[in-house]
Structure formats: structure tokens, C-alpha cells
Amino acid sequence: LQALADRTRPGFRIGAAVALGPLAADPDYAQELVGDFGAITPENAMKPQNLSPQQGVYTFEEADALIAAAQSKGMTVHGHTIAFTEAMPRWMQDLPTGSEQDRRASAAALLDYVTTVVGHFKGRLASLDVVNEPFDVDQGTELQENIWYRTFGLGYPLVVSRAVHDADPDVKQFVNENGADVPGDRQAALLELVRDTNARGGHLDGVGLQAHIYDLDTDAISPEDLTETLDTFAAAGLDVRISENDVPDSRGTQLQAEQYADVLITCLSTPTCVSYTTWGVDDRYDWSVDEDGKLQQGHDLLFDEGRPTPAYEAIRQAL
Ligand code: XIL
């Protein structure tokens, strides 16, 4: 797939979210990844809860191994993620912020985290989600009141963006969000957040649109809506990554394949849509498997049990 993309749109990356476990243990998975993708997003390995189990303690081994494996095959790496409500270690969530003095200490601890982590990976990341899922869950348009918010207030994305820039001026900075893939209040809020941050001295290069399709009946993305979306961000001078696309085949592999192709083709036709990433490689390790390891929604990704799915063929043809 990446070889086709290189011809269709030089510089454009086809990526996948990847976990070290199957990459190290399953030759099929490794072959699918290496044979087709030109970029990885560590699925969990770079989340704060995995990088810093205790304050001042860092566990970089898994992320380093994943990045080394990707780079040895010529793949670029998208870092995921710095400020993310859902994936913080206990110590970070529990930093006290009741008094001015507390907030100063919390600010120092959070900034130390950013500086240490971004400094550690400096030079190895092409891009990075500096803020992930900033808004209230269930389509909210207000910032989640997480530790970053309680410490730095409404302007926390600016603080994070600046700290990332200080530690690695070359990494492209993104704010990644779900439910902002189509025009609407959530998308408007994301645009405003990024513009406002940059207007006050931030270094955000663009947005990640996750494009998780949970249900083709209710959240299919039409080419028209996505085109309008890409134009909106382009007009604001912002790049877009399709960052976590996956599509269940609950309405049949035909509709699934069409949805995959629609998103990729629309992205490819807009120069500011800089990359396309699926959230996983093979259904057998899909993030939406239940406790018994059964996929909740039939086929979802481009491979299943080591074999390309109809969605793979649709993506191949789209390229
Ligand atoms: C998911 C991973 O895929 C799972 O393995 C993990 O248990 C939970 O997180 N949006 C994001 C990703 O930005 O970080 C999430 O990843 C999926 C939704």
C-alpha cells in the first residue's frame, strides 16, 4: 500500500496503529505491517500511563523497541500521545491543585513529564498528538476538566504545545479528536481550539480526525462532508491526518469497503490531508475485541487472521 501511495502522492503516508506484542510474536502480523504500511502510531506504548508508572520514573523500553522496529523498516513514527485524560497514570491524575502552591508543583511535574518524554524521543517522531481527545466525551464541545486543565486552566493546550516545541522544535504537532470528522459543533470547537492556541503563540500544525466508524448506519462519513471538513481546516492553514480509521462490516463487506475507500480517496484528493492511518492491522488484535477475544463487530480492519479483507482491496484500489 505504501509503495502505491508513493506513486500516487509522494510524501503521503499510509499508517497503522501497532502494538509491540503481536509485532514481536506473530510473523503474519509483522509481515502485513512491514509489507504494506509506511508509518506506525504506537497504539498504547507511548501513552503516559505506560511511559511513567510513578512520578519521575520512566519506562521507555516498549516504545523504544517499537520505534526501532518501525524505523529499521523505513517507516515513520507518529507519537501518541502527551495530554490524554483517559490514559494517565494514577500519580498524574492525583496531582493536587487546590492551592496556588499545589498548582505550581503540579505544573512543574507535568512540564517535567513533557520535557523528559519529548526529549527522549526527539528526532525519532515525525509528528505527535500533543493533546488527544480534549473535549467532553459524547460529542461535547467543552474541554474535559483533567489535571492539565485544573493546573493550567483553559489555555493548557498552549502550555503543552510550547513545552513540546521547546523540547523538539521539529516534530509536527497535532490535536487529535473523535466526532470531529464531519461538520458540526464538535468540529467547530476543535478548529477554534487550534486557532486560538496558535494565535496565542502555539505551534500546532493541524488536527487528527480519528474517523472511528462504530456503526455504518449512524456514523458513516460521506465524501461531501469530509471534503467540506478538509477545506475548512485547509482555509485555516491547518493540516489534517486521518488518524484512527476503522470500519465495522456489520452492514456487509461491500458497504464497509466503500466507506474505507471514500475516506482515503477524499483525503488523497486534498493536499493538506497529509496521512491516512487505520487503528490496527489485523482483526485478531483489534482494539474492539471483547473479553473472550471475539471481535464485537465482524470484520473491522484490512487484515483478518493473516489474510487481506475486502477492505484491503478497496484501499489498494483507492491508491
Ligand atoms: C485504544 C487502544 O486501541 C486500546 O488497546 C486501549 O485499550 C484503549 O485505547 N482513541 C484513541 C486511542 O485516541 O488512544 C484509543 O486506543 C482508541 C480511541
Ligand 1 in reach of 132 Cβ (< 6 A): yes
Ligand 1 in reach of 44 Cβ (< 6 A): yes
What integer is the mean pLDDT of 296-318?
91
Ligand 1 in reach of 286 Cβ (< 6 A): no
- Contact at 8 Å (CB) between 301 and 282? yes
CATH number at residue 169: 3.20.20.80
Question: Ligand 1 centre from 219 Cα, in Å?
Answer: 18
Q: What is the structure's pLDDT at 288?
A: 76
Q: What is the structure's pLDDT at 287?
A: 86
Q: Quote the pTM value.
A: 0.97
Ligand 1 in reach of 58 Cβ (< 6 A): no
What integer is the mean pLDDT of 33-41?
96
Ligand 1 in reach of 129 Cβ (< 6 A): no
The residue nearest atom 13 of ligand 1, judged by CA position, is 132
Instruction: Report yes or no for ipTM above 0.95.
Output: yes
Model confidence at 306: pLDDT above 80: yes
Question: Ligand 1 centre from 87 Cα, in Å?
Answer: 9
- Contact at 8 Å (CB) between 42 and 128? no
- Lowest model confidence (mean pLDDT) among 109-113, 205-209, 250-254, 265-269: 250-254
Model confidence at 59: pLDDT above 80: yes
Gap between the Cα atoms of 310 and 289, Å rounded: 20
Ligand 1 in reach of 244 Cβ (< 6 A): yes
Q: Is the CA virtual torsion 307, 312, 317, 319 positive or negative?
A: negative
Q: What is the chain's mean pLDDT, rounded? A: 96
Q: Please return the burial class of 30, using the count of CB atoms within 10 Å of its CB with bins 0-12, 13-18 and 19+.
A: middle
In total, how many domains does the chain have?
1
Question: Ligand 1 centre from 142 Cα, in Å?
Answer: 21
The residue nearest atom 7 of ligand 1, judged by CA position, is 287
Q: What is the structure's pLDDT at 299?
A: 81
Quick one: cell of 245?
480509521
Bin 90: left if φ > 0, else alpha if -120 < ψ < 50, else beta. Answer: alpha
Question: Ligand 1 centre from 6 Cα, in Å?
Answer: 28
Using DSSP's 3-state secondary structure scheme, residue 303 falls into strand
pLDDT tens track for 147-158: 999 999 999 999
Ligand 1 in reach of 43 Cβ (< 6 A): yes
233 is in which domain, residue-wise? 2-318
Question: Ligand 1 centre from 100 Cα, in Å?
Answer: 34
Q: What is the structure's pLDDT at 53?
A: 97
Long-range contact pairs involving 281-290 (C-beta distance under 8 Å, separation at least 24): 281/16, 281/17, 281/18, 281/22, 281/29, 281/32, 281/33, 281/37, 282/22, 282/28, 282/29, 282/32, 282/306, 283/309, 285/19, 285/21, 285/22, 285/29, 286/246, 287/17, 287/43, 288/246, 288/248
Ligand 1 in reach of 262 Cβ (< 6 A): no
Question: Ligand 1 centre from 286 Cα, in Å?
Answer: 10
- Residue 291's pLDDT band, with cuts at 50, 70 and 90, is low
What integer is the mean pLDDT of 7-36?
94
Ligand 1 in reach of 249 Cβ (< 6 A): no
Gap between the Cα atoms of 125 and 181, Å rounded: 24
Gap between the Cα atoms of 89 and 113, Å rounded: 12
Gap between the Cα atoms of 190 and 171, Å rounded: 20
